[in-house]
Chains A and B, each alone.
Chain A
Amino acid sequence: MQLQNKRPESLLDVKMHYCPGCGHGTIHRLVAEVMDELGIRSRTIGIAPVGCAVFADTYFNCDMIQGPHGRGPAEATGIKRAKPDTIVFSYQGDGDLASIGMAEIVHAAIRSENITVVFVNNAIYGMTGGQMAPTTLIGQKATTCVEGRTAKQSGYPIKMCEMLATIDGATYLERTTVHNVPGVIKTKSALRKAFQYQIDGKGFSMVEILSMCPTNWGTRLDNPSEATKFVAEGMLPVFPLGLYKDACAVKK
């Protein structure tokens, strides 16, 4: 028997701590595959967020840095400006990027920092135990909105791609999903484009990836389809997939 699909060199052979059914493992692998394929591993610096993906610093096989909650785009700015030869990606969750780090992500886009942002949107705070996120859906239950999020109490879920698309400095914005196979394939090609743009010096790119959090959504761990169904039926109508901006698209 021949191994058809080996572990990417950019991902270390360590046991991940992510829950069953979580999307982070898949997304890590996609990022690592893209790093391998573009041949950038030895000059890539990844930024691990605060939240479930804090341990990304131990999983990726490239130089990594971990800093304060939400400040990834600021750290990325410092790294990239100090060492322009590096490839820098900031890996962030929704609480990290769209709540506490809102100013940092918006201004990194405004400055069109030549970095790549991997934004994992699972509509919940994971590591702290299922609190309401800025992307939590109206009606979705969380430990800080036990009867479900209401607009009156907490406003509406933030749509990052749509918002950042209004910023001149944002070069490439796309929303994808990893809840199904076509989504995974599409996510990888979006990530590849985002990294390629950075290699080419084209400026700020972000891929927003809809992902599953079965543990904090309270969906059954022995039935992964419950979580994927929440993405498909709950999140997709609020967070439509697609290309939101590509300032470098070849005009046909």
Chain B
Amino acid sequence: MAEKKLMKGNEALAEGAVRAGCRFFAGYPITPQNEVPEYMSWRLPQVGGAFVQSESEVSAINMVYGAAATGVRCMTSSSSPGMSLKQEGISYAAGADLPIFIGNVMRGGPGLGNIAGAQGDYWQATRGGGHGDYRTFVMAPNSVTEMGSFPHKCYEVAFKYRIPSMVLTDGIIGQMMEPVEFTTPEVDPKALPEPDWAIGVNHNRAKRIVKSYDLREGFLELMVNERVKRYKQIEAAEVMYEEKMMDDAEIAIVAYGTSARVSVAAMKLAREKGLKVGLFRPITLWPFPKARLVELSKRVKKFLVVEMSLGQMVEDVQLSLNGRAEVHLHAKPGASVMTADEVYRTMDAIVKKGAKEYAAAK
């Protein structure tokens, strides 16, 4: 067993990416993700990789676009306002089928918002964010250890299906320190096969083109539809979630990231007081674990979505359940963190008063 090390979430994200074979990073300073580029600036040269502090987030994502086209495992990271700037490049990477990897350490928004942790970029991350029809594989860690291990999965999915991938986390998990253990295998990028689409030095093969456009009539539709097939494969094979105390649960909290951590405390509080509460934590936010929610709704009739945003993930839960169960929301927008006690009181109200009374009381 590897020795446990006390690390910041952001550092674990960077180290996890390097261990997963990342050899190129470009990024621009923005709080609360600065530890990622800071770490990469000295760590990548140690493994023969390259680091560039770019002039902007726009430039960073396009550097990554170029590097990814050569088949190298690469990364950029930012926080909410910077992610808005990266959307151009993410859309192009999706359109050119490039396996880029992005870290978003969410902060308060909209606009400059503030620098505290938040979850307000859920829609941006899971709906695409940029222009056009596309998907991004999105993973939401809830611990420093997961920050360190998720890059591995992100690269795996990104390269297998040729899709942009993202770790969607927040300032709290990014800034907090916890004992971390790197359990995923260390990837030697030199041992990986060169992708058959990568541009680079070629001596005998035909030329390759990396592009996101096709102006010929009808051809873009073919391009997008081919991509949709891969999206369907991802939805079938790559969904991840975690359940806690769901076996006898009468009410299920649905939460990810920091909200899920607070929800665990709320769940314990509720259990002590006799409420049968369980936690359902989506780990992949796209693909969203729809099927499992539907399955759970056969016996769980009350769901409470807890999120540090005004009610974004709740829409995915509603879409998944499609009226099969009550869906409630405990929202905390504006970069504030709900307390376990607040979440407990919401649950208590839902259970005791029933849905209608609860809604009316709000």
Chain A residues near B (Cβ < 8 Å)? 42-43, 45, 47-48, 54, 57-58, 60-68, 71, 74-79, 81-83, 85-86, 103-104, 106-107, 110-111
Q: Could you pull out 19 A-B pairs where Cβ atoms are within 8 angstroms?
A: A43-B201, A43-B202, A54-B213, A64-B208, A65-B199, A66-B209, A66-B210, A67-B66, A67-B89, A71-B59, A71-B62, A74-B62, A74-B63, A77-B26, A81-B52, A81-B67, A82-B67, A83-B200, A110-B55
B56 within 8 A of A: yes
B350 within 8 A of A: no
Minimum distance in angstroms from B202 CB to a CB of chain A? 6
Q: A78 to B24, Cβ gap below 8 A?
A: yes
| A103 to B24 CA separation, bound complex (whole angstroms) | 21
B23 within 8 A of A: yes
Instruction: With a 10 A CB-CB cut-off, give which of B50, B56, B66, B200 has the most chain A CB atoms.
Output: B66
Minimum distance in angstroms from B215 CB to a CB of chain A? 8
Nearest-CB residue, chain A, relative to B200 = A83
Q: B24 to A82, Cβ gap below 8 A?
A: yes
How many residue pairs, one in A and one in B, have C-beta atoms under 8 Å apart? 134
Minimum distance in angstroms from B302 CB to a CB of chain A? 46
Chain A residues in 8 Å Cβ range of B199:
45, 63-65, 79
Chain A residues in 8 Å Cβ range of B280:
none
Minimum distance in angstroms from B73 CB to a CB of chain A? 10
Chain B residues near A (Cβ < 8 Å)? 23-24, 26, 50, 52, 54-56, 58-60, 62-70, 72, 74, 88-89, 92, 96, 199-203, 207-213
| A63 to B210 CA separation, bound complex (whole angstroms) | 8
| A76 to B213 CA separation, bound complex (whole angstroms) | 19
Q: B200 to A42, Cβ gap below 8 A?
A: no
Minimum distance in angstroms from B204 CB to a CB of chain A? 8
In the complex, which of the residues B58, B70, B208, B209 contacts A71, with contact meaning CB atoms closer than 8 Å?
B58
Q: A64 to B207, Cβ gap below 8 A?
A: yes
| A61 to B55 CA separation, bound complex (whole angstroms) | 32
Minimum distance in angstroms from A126 CB to a CB of chain B? 15
Taking chain B's interface residues, is the majority helix, strand, or loop, or is none over half, making it mixed?
Answer: mixed
| A232 to B52 CA separation, bound complex (whole angstroms) | 41
In the complex, which of the residues B55, B72, B208, B212 contacts A107, with contact meaning CB atoms closer than 8 Å?
B55
Q: A67 to B52, Cβ gap below 8 A?
A: no
| A31 to B203 CA separation, bound complex (whole angstroms) | 19
Instruction: With a 10 A CB-CB cut-off, give which of A43, A63, A82 has the most chain B CB atoms.
Output: A82
Chain B residues in 8 Å Cβ range of A54:
213
Q: A107 to B59, Cβ gap below 8 A?
A: yes
Minimum distance in angstroms from A67 CB to a CB of chain B? 6
Minimum distance in angstroms from B187 CB to a CB of chain A? 16
Q: B92 to A103, Cβ gap below 8 A?
A: no
| A58 to B211 CA separation, bound complex (whole angstroms) | 11
Q: B202 to A67, Cβ gap below 8 A?
A: no
Minimum distance in angstroms from B64 CB to a CB of chain A? 6
Q: A86 to B62, Cβ gap below 8 A?
A: no
Q: A75 to B208, Cβ gap below 8 A?
A: no
Chain A residues in 8 Å Cβ range of B64:
78
| A103 to B54 CA separation, bound complex (whole angstroms) | 10
| A58 to B208 CA separation, bound complex (whole angstroms) | 10
Chain B residues in 8 Å Cβ range of A103:
55-56, 58-59
Q: B62 to A75, Cβ gap below 8 A?
A: yes
Nearest-CB residue, chain B, relative to A74 = B62
Q: A85 to B50, Cβ gap below 8 A?
A: no
In the complex, which of the residues B60, B67, B212 contacts A66, with contact meaning CB atoms closer than 8 Å?
B212
Chain B residues in 8 Å Cβ range of A64:
199, 207-211
Chain B residues in 8 Å Cβ range of A61:
207
In the complex, which of the residues B63, B203, B211 contacts A77, with contact meaning CB atoms closer than 8 Å?
B63
Chain B residues in 8 Å Cβ range of A47:
66
Q: B66 to A66, Cβ gap below 8 A?
A: no
Chain A residues in 8 Å Cβ range of B74:
78, 82
Minimum distance in angstroms from A130 CB to a CB of chain B? 19
| A47 to B54 CA separation, bound complex (whole angstroms) | 19
